[in-house]
Amino acid sequence: MNPRQPAYISVRLGRPTMTRSTQVLSGLALALVATLAISASTGVLGISPWAALSGTADPLSLQVWWQLRLPRLLLGMAVGAMLAGSGAAMQGLFRNPLADPTLLGLASGAGLFVALWIVLVQGSAASSLYGQFAAGFLGALCVCLLIFGIASRQGGGSAAVMSLLLAGLAINTLAGAGGGVLAFLASDEQLRQLSLWGMGTLTNALWRTTAVALGVVAFALWLLLRSATQLDLLQLGEATAHAAGLEIAHLKRRVVIATSIGVGLCVALTGVIGFLGLLVPHCLRLWLGPGHRLLLPASMLSGAILLVAADALARTLGAPAEMPVGLLTSLLGGPYFLYLLMRRNRPC
Amino acid sequence: MLTLCDAGLLRAPTLTPLSGTLLPGELLAIVGPNGAGKSTLLSLLSGFRPCETGQLLLDGHPLPTWPIAVLANRRALVAQQEPPGFDWHTEELVSLGSQPSKALVAQLLDELDLTHLARRSVLSLSGGERQRVMIARGACQLLSRRLPDATDGGLLLLDEPTSALDIGQQQRLMRQLRRWASQHQMAIACVLHDLNLASTFADHVWLMHRGQRVASGPPAQVLTTAHISRVYEVTLAPPSTALFSPAV
């Protein structure tokens, strides 16, 4: 037998029964459309999405809906899907239900760079979303390269999971300290901007940023979805997964790069929105089982639903003022997560 | 068929170069004290650590020239136990790494006495039950990914497959390994601590000591009082009822 010839028995890994995943995913997609429709009609100005789409609403409402509300909905959808999807992928990569992008230091690294931009570069000039975007992107990328450098030095070429985790821990600490120093240096106006952004909010949504976000997030999610069967295999442990045909270094690189690009962008645009990446995959796993071919897309859809809904709440609860949606998700998500941990003795 | 030509590892943990073959239908037991390099040898055989001196040939081709996905059709590994992170069902876990028919999964579960646990979460199983699930998964990968033109059943590597099993299950598992070896012409290499099991069921035994293979051959030639007392640093009483009983 010639080993160079391709495996002509095509191997699809794991389950699931197609009918069930189709049902679950189409149900979630419908729920997302419904959430978008409801969320599009709530707010300080009650505008029916049908009236806005058909152009029959008054000019002011039309402008508000098209220029403010719609991009904001779409940004919420993209960020929610990205955070929950990358959380699910990270948990699979680390084989640990408590992992998420903040664990690797990606979010805090991106956050530190954005804060650096606001305080040192932007100075007293008007805030620039593109600058923040580039800074967050750069921050996540630097963290990504740094942790791979550290991990491959220790792991003899392949990034060992434990060294990745420890590198993330060190970066989180460093970024926290750096953020503290920057807050000390910042002017009053910058401090206000920093703290608002740091709480997590979708108010920055404009068409040009939302369009970029949608494109980048779609690319990152596509990369993650392509890794689903490999993530399943990785659950066997590295040596066994390697023997079952998995290119481990490949998979790690793809998941970490997709996550750092997507999360870096999300952090730059919206600040840190907590608990989605941890909570959504966790709950879905209880319902759907641990197979990533269903868990990944379901997490992305549910993350989008949750963030769009939470943002609608944040816009209406204290209207006309609005609450940072990151605070809301943490306030709702934290206690629920504690409840889950207490109810279940098992760690997953 | 697996052939080692002076294959060894230079970086720690090291492995002194060794040669040998493992033929289809054969059961090889790798024995030796803790830290002797048994698991290291297994990771060399599986290709997880590529050999740093010499060569390792599978079906006549050097292991590094095999694409990793094709190699997975020919060799499977059951590593020492790692706690599973998520709650797969037994059946799902057995099917990971291949796309087996329902009949094959049912047959393997039956052969390893797991049928009653098929729909249970692996997190709720005992250590011994989980170990048998992972062994079933390894066999499942080889049997379901077997290529139509393959003349033998490939290579199954097991790292201490009996470590969490009771003595009844140990016997049943070893008998099952023998059956797989002869039925499917599978070559099986397993790390064992129980020398009685090794001498009862293995065709060949490799005795490891400090990263080196110090003896190899049929069990009767390798598992001698002289070898064992030297390698394990124990004093053995002359054989009585049990094959080896440590002196009191």
Q: Contact B123/A348, CB-based, under 8 Å? A: yes
CATH number of A66-343: 1.10.3470.10
The yes-or-no verdict on residue A227 having pLDDT over 90 is yes
Closest C-alpha to B86, from A324, A87, A232: A232
pLDDT tens-digit map of B154-199: 999 999 999 999 999 999 999 999 999 999 999 999 999 999 999 9
A242 in reach of chain B (CB within 8 A): yes
Instruction: Please tell me the distance from the alpha carbon of residue B208 to that of residue B199, in angstroms, as a whole number.
Output: 15
**Between B59, B86, B97, which is nearest A13 by CB?**
B97
Radius of gyration in angstroms for the set of CA atoms belonging to chain B, rounded to a whole number = 18
Question: Is residue A348 pLDDT above 50, yes or no?
Answer: no
Contacts with B147 from chain A: Cβ below 8 Å: 1, 7-9
The region, left, alpha or beta by phi > 0 then psi within -120 to 50, assigned to residue A153 is alpha
Domain ranges within chain A, ordered by starting residue: 66-343
CB contact under 8 A, A233 and B97: yes
Question: Any CB–CB contact under 8 A between A289 and chain B?
Answer: yes
Choose the closest CB to B141 out of A7, A12, A244. Answer: A244
Chain A contact set for B71 (CB, 8 A): 3, 243, 245
Q: Does A126 touch chain B (CB under 8 A)?
A: no
- As a whole number, mean pLDDT of residues A255-267 equals 86
Q: A18 or A285, which is more confident?
A: A285
Q: What pLDDT, on a 0 to 100 scale, did the predictor assign at position A176?
A: 86
Q: How far is B230 from chain A (nearest CA, A)?
A: 32
Helices and strands: H and E segment counts in chain A: 15, 0
- How confident is residue A61, by pLDDT bands cut at 50, 70 and 90? confident
The partner residues of B212 in beta bridges, in order of sequence, read: B209
Go through the domains of chain B in sequence order and give each one's CATH number: 2-232 (3.40.50.300)
| pLDDT given at position B239 | 56
**pLDDT category of residue B219 using cuts at 50, 70 and 90:** very high
Q: How many CB atoms lie within 10 A of CB A181?
A: 12
The confidence band for A153, taking pLDDT boundaries of 50, 70 and 90, is low
At A130 the pLDDT is: 73
User: Each residue of A276-320: pLDDT tens digit?
Assistant: 888 899 889 988 989 999 999 999 999 999 999 999 988 888 777
